[in-house]
Amino acid sequence: MRSATGAAERQDRQGSGAGTADAERDRRAERAAAVRLRSARDQVAKHGGVVERPLDGRRTLPLAWVRARAGDRTPIVVVPGGPGLASVLPYSGLRRAAQARGLDVIMVEHRGVGLSRTDATGADLTTDDVTTCAAADDLAAVLDANGVERAVVLGTSYGAYLAQVFGVRHPGRVAAMVLDSPATGPGAVPAVRAHLRGLYRDGRDPRTARAAELVATLAEHGEDPRDLTAVVRTVHEFAGPARLERLLAARVRGGARRSWARIAGLGAGETTGDGIPMIFDGDLVRPIGLGELGFAVPPDGEVLDLQRTYGDHPGQTGHTPPYDLAAELPGFTWPVAVISGERDVRTPRSIAERVVARLPDAVLVPLSAQGHSATDNHQLAALNVAHVVEAGAHRALPGLAARIEALPRRGMQALVGPILSAGIALDTFVDPS
């Protein structure tokens, strides 16, 4: 009887301890969120402002924006990806770097995200309030508030998609564009599948042929297909095919369990993870990703399908794309530079080349050791491209690509590659491949 009672008491203490730990984590998260909120508001107060934007039902949206200005140059509007990434807090380093180069950068907090998440009463926006057409019009309204007639528009990933929508709706406001890892809509899904499978299912590139054999072995042995896809995508983009081959070989032998679990979680978390206030808010912009970027396209059942990493969306279709961007691109008469990383498997080189081919005055800027989004992973490269475009010399960029690639790596995700490489090396050290 005493034994049973003692066991029950231990369980009660363990349960109480777990509850206390959860409560402490919640308190720390709340404190961190409060700090981020204060910091974001301070940046807007010091370096930006708010534009009141109309919503349905006589509501208004206090739309936040920030500006880092140095000299008298054509402003560069930087549009982050996601959808769901905030502008004010995550990109303060990019704006400082731009200002140090003498550039003038404007960023707008996307409606439904961060400081632009709520209406004037403090209530969350609805998903119907959050559309790409409305977000593009927000950019124009912030230009108006700053007295800017035309700007260079630098968009990355989803931000490049939004930049294209802006170009359709407000062509007179565009001086030039930089489309970094451009998303083009749900029609790109077949090309994305073909590219990743060409590398790691078919082994068409000699650098990935052995890794493709290892992927096939893991798939045959029942490796979770979502985890397998997330790991292949993440390690290839951030650390390269050689490090991925080493990890796959260790996994086939039953090793590298810690690295595998962490990387699988990291890859899935980019698109299906919880939001981080003032950094990433994915819920209100989700219909944009589902419908306009193709996240709702169902997996086809074959190995290595990035659609698996976007979560399950039964019965959800999202917002319908407002434009056929492929048909609109020939009307973009301004200079355009398209940045494309060789390791990018989310918006691979073939998609970038199609975008360039449809534009009247565009150049491709190929970066060899770059994955998705130079704006996030290699900010100095993205800023240098924008600087050259702003100076009117975009046609020189293909010849400058190697020098731009060699610049020091900075950005929100610039350390992910070295950290992944070190973790994989450590986890496979006892049984290297």
CA–CA separation, 394 vs 388, rounded Å?
Answer: 6
Q: Minimal CA–CA distance to 248: which of 269, 228, 264, 225?
A: 228
The answer to whether the beta carbons of residues 36 and 113 sit under 8 Å apart is: no
Please state the separation of Cα 329 from the chain's center in Å. Answer: 22
- Architecture of the structural domain at 48-184+323-407: 3-Layer(aba) Sandwich (3.40)
Q: Which residues contact 226 (CB under 8 A, 6 or more apart)?
A: 264, 268, 308, 309
The predicted-structure confidence for 253-302, as pLDDT tens digits, reads as follows 999 999 999 999 886 655 555 689 999 999 999 999 999 999 999 999 99
Continuous H helices in 48-101: 92-100
Binned at pLDDT 50, 70 and 90, residue 17 comes out as low
The predicted-structure confidence for 191-238, as pLDDT tens digits, reads as follows 999 999 999 999 999 999 999 999 999 999 999 999 999 999 999 999
Binned at pLDDT 50, 70 and 90, residue 26 comes out as confident
- Position 5 pLDDT exceeds 80: no
How confident is the model at residue 330, as a pLDDT? 98
pTM of the model: 0.92
The predicted-structure confidence for 338-392, as pLDDT tens digits, reads as follows 999 999 999 999 999 999 999 999 999 999 999 999 999 999 999 999 999 999 9
CA–CA separation, 379 vs 94, rounded Å?
Answer: 7
Please state the separation of Cα 246 from the chain's center in Å. Answer: 26
In this prediction, residues 297-308 reach a mean pLDDT of 95
CA–CA separation, 151 vs 174, rounded Å?
Answer: 5
How confident is the model at residue 114, as a pLDDT? 97
How confident is the model at residue 393, as a pLDDT? 98
Question: How many H helices and E strands in the chain?
Answer: 16, 8
DSSP 8-state class, residue 173: G
Q: Which residues contact 83 (CB under 8 A, 6 or more apart)?
A: 110, 113, 158, 282, 285, 286, 288, 289, 293
For the chain, the average pLDDT equals 92
Q: In what order do the strands lie in the sheet with 60-68?
A: 48-54, 60-68, 105-108, 76-79, 151-156, 174-180, 336-341, 362-367
CA–CA separation, 195 vs 175, rounded Å?
Answer: 33
CA–CA separation, 184 vs 181, rounded Å?
Answer: 10
Give the helix/strand (H/E) hosting 155: strand 151-156
| 5-24 b/e (C-beta count within 10 Å ≥ 16 → b) | eeeeeeeeeeeeeeeeeeee
How confident is the model at residue 430, as a pLDDT? 54
How confident is the model at residue 1, as a pLDDT? 40
Region(s) of the chain under CATH 3.40.50.1820: 48-184+323-407
The predicted-structure confidence for 100-150, as pLDDT tens digits, reads as follows 999 999 999 999 999 999 999 999 999 999 999 999 999 999 999 999 999
Binned at pLDDT 50, 70 and 90, residue 317 comes out as confident
